[in-house]
């Protein structure tokens, strides 16, 4: 790709800094939590705010990779982004774990459909990476008007229990801290955990509260007698430790984490981490402000890799897919980065590279920015479908840890081939400007307009250029809206939107986590010859 002029670089950088400011504004709305009045009531009752709880639980100064913080943005009236829950990977007593915390300042911490999906996604990440789960429980239960997105299907509320049982069977520790109400089916979340801490006079667990108990049995009983800390810790045995307040509960939890036994040995030996030699801040200027101009992913990865060192594989063949080896925070990784559409040669090169990485147990990073696979007679005769199928087979079969960052526009089968969500990467993030769709807005508008024009011609109806443009304009707008990174984050079709400068550190943490998971043998599907 041609080098950018200094003027273009500066214009790109200024435009991208505006995107970064927008990202941080969205995050701030999520991190505030509920209304000022709700937060004030929470504090008046002697409780720590949800994010303060998470901070007190984590090792001081340790990183916290928050996940799905923008889920549900714009979905529910009066509900900020985040789905009334905080999830992320952090360190407690020097050990990586998954933290899942209800935010009771948002609608009492009730579960919306977005909340359930966020909870189960966090569990699946924890399961795949064998991370202990710490759940900070403070929830009023299901948000009943949204029951169709909470109760009936896979990935709904019952899947939380399924995941807990499955992780327990594999020896993945689960700890619950009951900091508030825990009612109905939600009472099973702590009940299915290894160890449970409950706060006296503040945490309550029951399948049916006092009102429901009265209606069902005629029995008058107060919350404490029905499901309080003293009863559950001394009579029912549902909970294991009583805490006097939030701070005490979190201190007990840290003590529990110190007694989980030995961590699994590292499967990889990282080298000392080195910062990139090329300035990562230059990434902002490398990303074109014009969505039609693709990113030079080779330049991007040089600003993410340790020492800006990248050993490229097969550099003169299949040039629209860059493949090679680098290290990120000391961990070796195999990188596949788009540099144009998929041609047959690029797909074949990628297939060979993935095969090499699986045999050497090297994790894979996909930098996705691709319009799709090449079309036309020459491409079809050259076997693009067969070569693409080989690449998809290799990518899908590879049992090494896989990660995907969408660095530009990822469209159609090209997006799928670059380890899309359907192929279960351990994490998938987008950058603020990036887009995902079946095709680009202009291509979609032109395709649908072409169909409509042919129908008009068949009926002998004239269709003016002005009428065609009026038809295409809303289609472009809808495709732009759908493809937007924040739409994908709101729907939890990706794990979040990252500032490009955060990406290297997020990957370093994820590789460190994966380094303590067992090796899985890759068994490839059939490669058509």
pLDDT in tens, 305-316: 999 999 999 999
Q: Are 251 and 344 contained in the same domain?
A: no
Residue 182 pLDDT: 87
Nearest CA to 199 among 378, 48, 390? 48
Q: For residue range 51-73, what is the model confidence (pLDDT) as tens digits?
A: 999 999 999 999 999 999 999 99
User: Is 298 within a domain?
Assistant: yes
Burial class (CB in 10 A: 0-12, 13-18, 19+), 273: middle
**Alpha-carbon gap, residue 164 to 186, rounded angstroms:** 13
DSSP state for residue 404 in the 8-state scheme: E
Length of the chain: 529
Give me the phi and psi of 125, to 5 degrees please: -65, -45
CATH of the domain at 386: 3.90.226.10
Tell me the pLDDT of the chain averaged across its residues. Answer: 93
| pTM of the shown model | 0.95
Q: Are 295 and 198 contained in the same domain?
A: no
**Alpha-carbon gap, residue 423 to 381, rounded angstroms:** 28
Q: For residue range 5-47, what is the model confidence (pLDDT) as tens digits?
A: 899 999 999 999 999 999 999 999 999 999 999 999 989 999 9
Residue 321 forms beta bridges with which residues? 338
DSSP state for residue 407 in the 8-state scheme: E
Q: Is the pLDDT of residue 185 over 80?
A: no
Q: For residue range 324-340, what is the model confidence (pLDDT) as tens digits?
A: 999 999 999 999 999 99
349-363, 389-403, 414-428, 468-482: which has the minimum mean pLDDT?
468-482
Q: Are 128 and 192 contained in the same domain?
A: yes
Q: Which long-range contacts (CB under 8 A, 24 or more apart) does 314-320 make?
A: 314/349, 314/352, 314/353, 317/345, 317/349, 318/343, 318/345, 318/346, 318/347, 318/348, 318/349, 318/350, 319/345, 319/346, 320/346
Q: Are 326 and 223 contained in the same domain?
A: no
**Alpha-carbon gap, residue 156 to 148, rounded angstroms:** 9
Q: Is the pLDDT of residue 146 over 90?
A: no
Residue 2 pLDDT: 65
Report residue 1's pLDDT band, with 50, 70 and 90 as the boundaries: low
Residue 175 forms beta bridges with which residues? 134, 195
Domain extent, residue 60, equals: 33-257
In sequence order, which ranges of 192-264 are alpha helices (DSSP H)? 210-217, 223-227, 229-231, 246-257
Residue keyed to tokens 């759908």: 482
Q: Are 315 and 371 contained in the same domain?
A: yes
Residue keyed to tokens 């500032």: 499
For residue 329 the two structure tokens come to: 């925070």
Residue keyed to tokens 């097969």: 314
Q: Are 220 and 355 contained in the same domain?
A: no
Count of the separate structural domains present in the chain: 2
User: Is 198 within a domain?
Assistant: yes
Q: Are 110 and 69 contained in the same domain?
A: yes
Q: For residue range 188-207, what is the model confidence (pLDDT) as tens digits?
A: 899 999 999 999 999 998 87
End-to-end CA distance of the chain: 33
Residue 67 pLDDT: 98
Q: Are 214 and 328 contained in the same domain?
A: no
Nearest CA to 176 among 129, 118, 126, 132? 132
């Amino acid at each position: 790709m041609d080098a950018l002029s200094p003027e273009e670089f500066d214009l790109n950088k200024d435009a991208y800094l505006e995107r970064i400011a927008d990202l941080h504004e969205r995050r701030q709305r999520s991190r505030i939590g509920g209304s000022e009045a709700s937060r004030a009531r929470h504090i008046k009752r002697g409780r720590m705010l949800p994010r303060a709880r998470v901070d007190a639980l984590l090792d001081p100064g340790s990183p916290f990779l928050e996940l799905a913080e923008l889920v549900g943005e714009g979905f529910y009236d009066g509900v900020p982004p985040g789905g009334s829950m905080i999830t992320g990977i952090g360190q407690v007593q020097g050990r990586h774990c998954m933290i899942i915390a209800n935010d009771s300042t948002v609608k009492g911490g009730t579960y919306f459909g977005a909340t359930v999906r966020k909870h189960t996604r966090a569990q699946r990440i924890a399961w795949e990476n064998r991370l202990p789960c710490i759940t900070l429980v403070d929830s009023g239960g299901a948000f009943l008007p949204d029951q169709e997105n909470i109760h009936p299907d896979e990935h709904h509320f019952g899947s939380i229990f399924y995941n807990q049982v499955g992780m327990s069977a594999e020896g993945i520790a689960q700890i619950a801290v009951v900091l508030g109400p825990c009612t109905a089916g939600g009472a099973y979340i702590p009940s299915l955990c290894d160890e449970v801490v409950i706060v006296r006079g503040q945490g309550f667990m029951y399948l049916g509260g006092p009102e429901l108990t009265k209606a069902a049995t005629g029995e008058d009983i107060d919350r404490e007698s029905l499901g309080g800390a003293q009863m559950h810790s001394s009579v029912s045995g549902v909970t294991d430790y009583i805490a006097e307040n939030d701070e005490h509960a979190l201190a007990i939890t840290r003590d529990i984490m110190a007694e989980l036994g030995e961590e699994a040995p590292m499967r990889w030996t990282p080298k000392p981490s080195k910062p990139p030699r090329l300035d990562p801040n230059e990434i902002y200027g490398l990303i074109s402000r014009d969505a039609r101009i693709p990113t030079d992913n080779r330049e991007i990865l040089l600003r993410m890799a340790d020492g800006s060192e990248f050993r490229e594989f097969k550099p003169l063949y299949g040039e629209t897919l860059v493949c090679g080896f680098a290290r990120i925070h000391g961990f070796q990784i195999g990188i596949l980065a788009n540099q144009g559409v998929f041609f047959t040669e690029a797909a074949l090169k990628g297939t060979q590279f993935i095969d090499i990485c699986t045999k050497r147990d090297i994790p894979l990073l996909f930098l996705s920015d691709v319009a799709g696979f090449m079309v036309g007679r020459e491409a079809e005769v050259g076997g693009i479908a067969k070569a693409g199928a080989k690449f998809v087979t290799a990518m899908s079969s590879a049992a090494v840890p896989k990660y995907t960052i969408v660095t530009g526009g990822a469209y159609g089968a090209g997006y799928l081939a670059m380890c899309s969500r359907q192929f279960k990467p351990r994490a998938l993030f987008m950058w603020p400007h990036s887009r995902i769709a079946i095709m680009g807005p202009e291509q979609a508008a032109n395709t649908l307009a072409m169909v409509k024009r042919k129908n008009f011609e068949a009926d002998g109806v004239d269709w003016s250029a002005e009428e065609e443009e009026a038809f295409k304009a809303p289609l472009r707008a809808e495709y732009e809206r759908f493809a937007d990174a924040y739409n994908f984050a709101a729907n939890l079709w990706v794990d979040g939107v990252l500032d490009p400068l955060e990406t290297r550190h997020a990957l370093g943490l994820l590789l460190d986590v994966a380094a303590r998971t067992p090796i899985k043998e890759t068994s490839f599907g059939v490669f058509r010859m």
